[in-house]
Amino acid sequence: MLINIDLDVINSEEQFRLLDRLLMLFENDQHEWYLEDKLEDVMQCGWPSQLSNRHQNILKTIVEKSFSRSGWVTKPEKRDRGIVKITLEGESSLENVLKGIDGPLFIVVENETSDTLFLNRLFEIYPSHGKTLSKALESSFLEYYPAGGRNETIKTIKNISNKKKAPHVPRIFVFVDSDKKFPGQEHDSTLQEIVDFCSEQNIPIHILYKREIENYIPKEVLQKRIPAQLSRVTEEFFNLTADQWDFFDLEKGFNGQQPNNNDPLYSNYSTRRDQKYENLRKGFSGERAVFRPKQELYTFVQDEEFNAKNVNIRCAHQPDRDELLNLLLRIKNKL
């Protein structure tokens, strides 16, 4: 977050101990000082003068960097990241603000195993934002919080919020699959409840454009990883259009329900129960002796071919072709 500090706070001896804690957050890049005062105005205050030489140099470096950076902060960035104003008294006092910012950003996920693996891999393949997020994760300034399923998401958010008293509740970001069957499909009732709740609580949420994380796996990875016994499924799957690929249930396929002529995406599989339909009827679940899609597909994100180049191609046709990079930016802005 962007932190703005009144000079009278930096001049107050009662605040020096708390300012030392804030300096550590700045030093670790956990928050950024939004500085409108000049270097000399800050360094001539009471707090810097009592710091050790080493910490004075650290502070000076941070102030110089912050002053230069703050002049280029755009209005959209201020809006997206939020500016926290620290004053001597009231809810915006340094003591109160530290209660809200001296803690992790929680990413609430439906499935801790698959979702965290996916997000961590995105941190690796998109280092422009991912490097900061990986560092935050290592320092416990970013934490995953499993909801244990979509139906438990709102309950989980409330449990996290109860960890601290208002107005300085923990910072939360929600990450969920869309589970949609075609582009533009309305949210199911459970997801809509989550969206509405997050909107009411001013909690950012990212709903994947594609059906689920497995639909982002590039062709190059599937070609390497899907067993040969499922080659007929793989070949037919590669014949799907980009949109069909986005919303196909890789695990269950058509799940025994043949599409009809009015299906927005798969009407070309509706004419008769031909071999093309049969190839995709069970998705990649047809050979469980050699492949268990629910347990194995999500792990494919660890493959070296799951890289920025291939994933970008998988997303090139979407309304937001930079969806995943923008997802990381949104998370980074809430740190």
Please indicate, yes or no, whether residues 220 and 284 belong to a single structural domain of this protein.
yes
CB 217 within 8 Å of CB 186? no
Q: How confident is the model at residue 102 (pLDDT cuts 50, 70, 90)?
A: confident
CB 64 within 8 Å of CB 39? yes
Please indicate, yes or no, whether residues 132 and 112 belong to a single structural domain of this protein.
yes
pLDDT tens digit sequence for 277-319:
999 999 999 888 899 999 999 999 999 999 999 999 999 999 9
Please indicate, yes or no, whether residues 202 and 252 belong to a single structural domain of this protein.
no
**pLDDT value for 99:** 83
Please indicate, yes or no, whether residues 46 and 28 belong to a single structural domain of this protein.
yes
In degrees and rounded to multiples of 5, residue 33 shows phi and psi of: -80, 120
- Domain tally for the chain? 3
pLDDT tens digit sequence for 151-209:
999 999 999 988 766 556 788 999 999 999 999 999 999 999 999 999 999 899 999 99
**pLDDT value for 165:** 61
Question: Residue 273, by phi and psi: left (phi above 0), alpha (psi -120 to 50) or beta?
Answer: beta
Residues forming beta bridges with residue 2, ordered by sequence position: 32, 83
pLDDT tens digit sequence for 22-49:
999 999 888 999 998 888 999 999 999 9
Which domain does 188 fall in, by range? 105-209+318-333
The length of the chain is 335
**pLDDT value for 298:** 97
**pLDDT value for 163:** 75
**pLDDT value for 259:** 92
In degrees and rounded to multiples of 5, residue 185 shows phi and psi of: -60, 140
DSSP, collapsed to helix, strand or coil, labels residue 180 as: coil
Alpha helix positions (H), the chain = 7-10, 16-27, 39-43, 46-49, 53-70, 75-81, 94-101, 112-125, 127-138, 153-161, 189-200, 219-225, 231-237, 242-247, 275-281, 293-296, 308-315, 323-333
Buried b (16+ CB within 10 A) or exposed e, 95-124: eebbbbbbbbbbbbbbbeebbbbbbbbbbe
What gap in Å lies between CA 278 and CA 274, rounded to an integer? 6
Please indicate, yes or no, whether residues 245 and 199 belong to a single structural domain of this protein.
no
Percentage of the chain lying above the pLDDT 70 cut: 98
CATH of the domain at 140: 3.40.50
Six-digit token string for 121? 């891999």
Identify the domain boundary among 86, 101, 116.
101
The yes-or-no verdict on residue 267 having pLDDT over 80 is yes
The yes-or-no verdict on residue 218 having pLDDT over 60 is yes
Six-digit token string for 301? 């994100």
CB 233 within 8 Å of CB 279? yes
Please indicate, yes or no, whether residues 86 and 65 belong to a single structural domain of this protein.
yes
Please indicate, yes or no, whether residues 43 and 168 belong to a single structural domain of this protein.
no
pTM of model > 0.85: yes
Please indicate, yes or no, whether residues 224 and 170 belong to a single structural domain of this protein.
no
Six-digit token string for 108? 């609430």
**pLDDT value for 159:** 92
- 91, 72, 98: which is closest to 3 by C-alpha? 98
**pLDDT value for 256:** 79
Please indicate, yes or no, whether residues 205 and 323 belong to a single structural domain of this protein.
yes
What gap in Å lies between CA 55 and CA 48, rounded to an integer? 8
What gap in Å lies between CA 181 and CA 210, rounded to an integer? 9
